[in-house]
A and B are shown apart, each in its own frame.
Chain A
Amino acid sequence: MKEKRFLPDGWAVYVGLALLLLLGIGAFVFRQDFSFWEKRYLAEPPKNYSPVEWTLNDDLETYLSDQLPFRRVFVALDAQAQALTGRAVQLGAWPTGDAIVEKPVETDADTLLRRVAALRGFAGDTPCRFLTPPTAGMLKMGEMTAARRAVYELEAETYDAVVRQEGFIPLREAFESSAEPVYYRTDHHWNFEGAYLAYRAYCEAAGLEPLEKDDFEITDCGAFLGTTYTRSGLPFAKADTLICAEPKTPVTARFDGEAYDHLIFPEEAETYDGYAVYLKGNHGLLTVENPAGERGTLFLCKDSYANSLIPFLSAHYRRIVAVDARYYNGTFADALAEAGDAEEILFLYSMDSLANDTAVTRKLRAR
């Protein structure tokens, strides 16, 4: 008896080819300008080519790759296949327990110590402190296989060698002993709890009396899927919640030529970069003023980790001048001159920024 089939074999081939062609045509028909989940602009259709300077092949390939219909589904399928075959290492961020954790920072203690020495040299006689959080991976070593743990142990050794230097504010123990998660599940930044613990550790080092959480205005800004989720490409992750704090006393934030009477921007939670609820994201130079602060001016050299910490610190300083080397056109010296009478300096960099952010060393060298 003849076998019944949904489609005769041969014709299925041509149906398959037609589907492939539809995907190709779909890339032009359903073109999108921006990929929300990748947080980037997508390629535009290729145009204007001469046979001499021929890049149409590469440009069309990039375009089709960017605009492939159902691309998110395809990327997720690949990410899941990689994770299932043990190659999560490919994803740049690994599922660990209920979180997606970044790969270890590739650096060594000597490199980091050289960078720290350069920063210390910049500070000169002004009292300075360093705050570098342990990575989420270091805190989740207990949930890893032995082979993965070995790599994070190396990262932890490097981290410990650096943060035991004078001026570093210890954080690892406080983070490890926290009953609450201190990092987002889907993002590389510390969460509300982590930022608050860092704030308390800073206060202890700086001789300040830390406030309780209830002393701040707390806002629930909604759900959030962050960078490690995006980087991994994995389809499923439990979203985080953006909990934000700011002082109850009036504050003014100035950046990009504008002044604001608040530090939290809940509307940003709806955008592609939810973390921008804190201070509307990263800015080259940012000033936060709080006339009720007990201390004078803090000069803060920072990366994005500081964005959720600044609202806590602003409760204590009349003025915080924060410079982010990646977005600031001048040198650190220019920024310091702008700060005027800075009495304290805080260098707040993640281990990754400390190791790999060349903008920091460039801005220092230009002094």
Chain B
Amino acid sequence: MVDVTSSAPDLLRTADGRPLKAALAAAQRKAKWRAFFLVLPLLAFVVLTFIVPILKMLERSVNHDGFSSNAPAMVAWFNANPATADIPEEAYAALVTDLKQMQKDKTAGAAGTRINYTVPGTISVFKSAARAAEKMTPPYKDALIASNKMWADPLVWVAMRNASSAYTSDFYMVSADLKRDAADNLVRVEDNQRIYVYLFAKTFVLSIVITVACLLLAFPIAHLLAVLPMAKSNLLMILVLLPFWTSLLVRTSSWIAILQEQGIINDLMVWIGAYGEDGRIRMIYNQTGTIIVMPHILLPFMVLPLYSVMRVIPPSYARAARSLGATSWTTFRRIYLPQTLPGIAAGSLLVFILAVGYYITPALVGGADGQLISNLISFHMNKANWSMAAALAAILLAAVLILYWLYDRLIGIDRLKLG
């Protein structure tokens, strides 16, 4: 028999004699598992097709074996000897051994590419040295330096030492516009080479501009939709949702038709005589193109959250404020606007997140100066600079995940709605 002297609630039992508490816990555990098993197939699918590829990408951003796998003698020498300012003959001998092998395997380019990321111009140096390596005689130090002065450059040796391990943070260093000096300290690159930080900053600023433009355009129509009678507002809502459902490429190509130099707006302006044939304005294939087209693409993502908040704001507050003597401007600023803040926050954050990583529209209408960080990632992918692309993508991913976390904390991801 069970101990009946324990506290009173324990006496509550199910029909088959188990303590009620335990039976409830078991039932709840079972329900938990049942819910979890419904989600499990999708979870496994998303891990395979989404998480694993992103982990692969992150691994790529810290891994490049172009030098380390093709220069075994150098790797051995770097591992055996600490960094010194004066490079001895035996290191050059190891280098020549590796260069000879690279010439046979045709891998001098791969090794040079890895060094080239941190010391520009080294691909050709590696290739020509590999070609000449077979005919070189000791002392190798003098022979190599005679062939190209770069072999005496301490920067090259610092770079090779860092590349002797396949795992490296070099690509993140380059993404931050930093480089190593001869003493292996991080320093900023020359002003005219600082492209990455500038592009990150530009992406950030352009995204803010696009978000503000979206907010200014979405606020009036969301308000109108919220105050109109249901039948009318449903009809107008379709106008907001139509762009949402229309192919991105369709919208982008029609903007090209509208904005290009021989396009509709320019034709119209010339026709009404605002300016002559030669005064046609270039509104596309530059930054202006990105700033005009992106808000159009992202506007529904701002209207929908704003609308869902504005719809439930009771009109009685505004009326009360007016009856107490507030002007319409004061009523708007002090009563209405603060109540729409959750919608503004949700819409702005969503639009900003989407704008920061946008690729298609800037690529098609952005020209040279309307490109965002995504376009640079694509550029490096096309040039087969895979580790570089992966590092830039990882930084962008980190930024987006922080914003996403913020969105979830402030608004809650389960409140996301689509029309």
Chains A and B belong together in one complex: no
